[in-house]
Amino acid sequence: MDQLVFALLNGTIYGLLLFMVSAGLTLIFGMMGVLNFAHASFYMLGAYFAYTLEPLTGFWAAILLSPLLVTGIGVLVEKFILRRVHAFGHAHELLVTFGLSVVIAELIKMGYGNFPVDYRVPPELRFAAFSISGIDYPFYRLFMGAIALVMFAAIYLLLTRTRVGIVVRSAIYRPQMVEALGHNVPLVFMGVFGVGAGLAGLAGAVAGAFYTTNPNMALELGVVVFVVVVVGGLGSMGGAMLASLLIGITNSLAVGSNLRPADLFALVGQRDWAEQIGGLMTVQLSSLAATLPFLIMLIVLVVRPSGLMGEKE
């Protein structure tokens, strides 16, 4: 029972982290129709900036300043690169962000070396929040989860309850009309892209200390974040939250189980047959954990292509 509680809690927190990274991505997609391949790179930049700033400013200032820097970079990328490519179509925008992700990864390697850097959770935050039957639960995990929840609430309120939110949302549907009403749509786009990048940067600054900060961290998280956004429904903030939790919890439960596909056949009395087939049938679910997100994405795309909470194709 305790195990289950832990698995659920772990899964939820991991899901919330995924949400932190994918929130910006889904915001940018919903807004501009750009699937930003460089998004996970902003996550990585956030972690490295925070690592660089920490000795100068301390941990708290670092995780606040680093997202701001990443926002700045996001704004520059939008203004000088994406805007130029916009006229050539979505495929080009997507590809140019892909090129950027390569460039960012290589620059990070050049500046910080190939190995992980020693960016760690500060000692004052390194304590157990509570413990169940001998297992401590680190406070920092709860802290990350709380930041994600605050982020979700803030974005939600900003989009639905403020004037800025109204302009942003309407610019998604009718950019010309919004422009005709006297709003600066390019500025709105730039702002959204910057904020989206900044959110990823914040996630990186916070999570980089808990996990590891290394030049491959964008690569490792990049694809999963895509999966989250697609499963949730491109552009849907609530969907991204739902999908993040779904993937986080499935992952956590799968790791904890010894189930094999062959065991499913036991339900219809065919376990021996399935075991004879071997191959995938006898692989433990726990070793397939990283595969599950793709399976989920495939099923969702085929059954409900607009995603869990997406509106239209």
Where in 204-243 is the site for another protein (CB under 8 A)?
Answer: 210-216, 219-221, 223-224, 226-227, 230, 234
Is residue 27 within 8 Å of residue 164, measured between CB atoms?
no
Residue 34 or residue 155: which is nearer to another protein going by CB? Answer: 34
SS3 call for 233: coil
- Output the smallest distance, CB 267 to another protein, in A: 22
Neighbours of 50 (CB within 10 A): 29
Residue 47 or residue 237: which is nearer to another protein going by CB? Answer: 47
Task: Dump the DSSP string for 23-54.
Answer: HHHHHHHHHH----TTHHHHHHHHHHHHHHHH
Decide if residue 304 touches another protein (CB under 8 A): no
Neighbours of 89 (CB within 10 A): 10
Quote the tokens at residue 150.
């605050």
Select the residue interacting with another protein from 61, 150, 295, 304 (CB under 8 A): 295
Select the residue interacting with another protein from 55, 182, 269, 279 (CB under 8 A): 279
Quote the tokens at residue 161.
């309850």
The set of residues, in sequence order, having a beta carbon less than 8 Å from that of 127 and lying 6+ positions away, is 138, 139
Decide if residue 146 touches another protein (CB under 8 A): no
- How far apart CA 263 and CA 271 sit, in angstroms, is 6
Binding mask 14-53 for another protein (x = CB under 8 A): x--x-----------------x------------------
Span 91-130, contacts to another protein by CB under 8 A: 91-92, 94-96, 98-100, 102-103, 106-107, 109-111, 113-121, 126, 128
Decide if residue 135 touches another protein (CB under 8 A): yes
Decide if residue 200 touches another protein (CB under 8 A): no
- How far apart CA 147 and CA 153 sit, in angstroms, is 10
Select the residue interacting with another protein from 58, 60, 68, 84 (CB under 8 A): 84
